[in-house]
Amino acid sequence: MAAQAQSNQPFVDPEFVVPEQLETEEFRLRPLTVNDAVKDFDAVMSSAEHLRAIWPESEWPDGLTLEQNLIDLGWHQKEFQTRRSFAYTVVTLDETRVVGCVYIDPTRKRGYDAEVYLWARDAAIGSPPDSKLYKAVNEWLAERWPFENVAFPGRGIAWDIWNAIPKENR
């Protein structure tokens, strides 16, 4: 569910090697694909209340069907292939369960070069639900990605402050 990519241009330089995964002792991030549709749908629907708290201005995932989820995952997969945005599924190490998602998107907000959204099932990987995921992703972005200033709207930046930041003209 992240905001859609803001550009028709690749998000990162062509020479940048996009990380294929991040693995910790508890979970793995890897590109989200249509093959994850059923497990992802289960994770999303079982986390609906948590997701509405993360994105308070959105009604997602209300009304989401498995078919619509498959379409959304296909969109995310294509955006990853074209380097316009990067959606990762968060899975257990044995890959039996989807426990969340991470979305790395371009931004037009002044002072930032990426915006990142993430979520995890309640208590799937710590409490609060996605605190370990947030810490791991934040470190991963700093170590492996070319961004200078990443925003985590709704987490690192309150929604009202984020929404008030002007957009750059491009």
Tens digits of per-residue pLDDT, 76-97? 999 999 999 999 999 999 999 9
Q: Apex CA 83: angle with CA 88 and CA 61, to 5°? A: 40
Q: Apex CA 148: angle with CA 73 and CA 31, to 5°? A: 20
Which residues lie below 8 Å from residue 146, measured CB to CB, with a gap of 6+?
Answer: 12, 13, 16
pLDDT number for residue 6: 47
pTM of structure: 0.91
What span, in angstroms and rounded, lies between the C-alpha atoms of 79 and 86? 7
Given a cut of 60, is residue 108 above it in pLDDT? yes
What's the residue count for the chain?
170
Identify whether the C-beta of residue 57 lies closer than 8 Å to the C-beta of residue 159. Answer: yes
Look up tokens 């020479």; give the residue.
15
What span, in angstroms and rounded, lies between the C-alpha atoms of 115 and 109? 9
Give residue limits of the domains in the chain: 22-161
Identify whether the C-beta of residue 70 lies closer than 8 Å to the C-beta of residue 34. Answer: yes
Homologous superfamily in CATH for domain 22-161? Gcn5-related N-acetyltransferase (GNAT) (3.40.630.30)
Quick: pLDDT tens for 25-63: 999 999 999 999 999 999 999 999 888 888 888 889 999
The pLDDT of 137-157, averaged and rounded, is: 95
Identify whether the C-beta of residue 118 lies closer than 8 Å to the C-beta of residue 108. Answer: no
Given a cut of 90, is residue 121 above it in pLDDT? no
Q: Which residue has the higher pLDDT, 117 or 123?
A: 117
Q: Phi first, then psi: what are they for 7, rounded to 5°? A: -140, 155
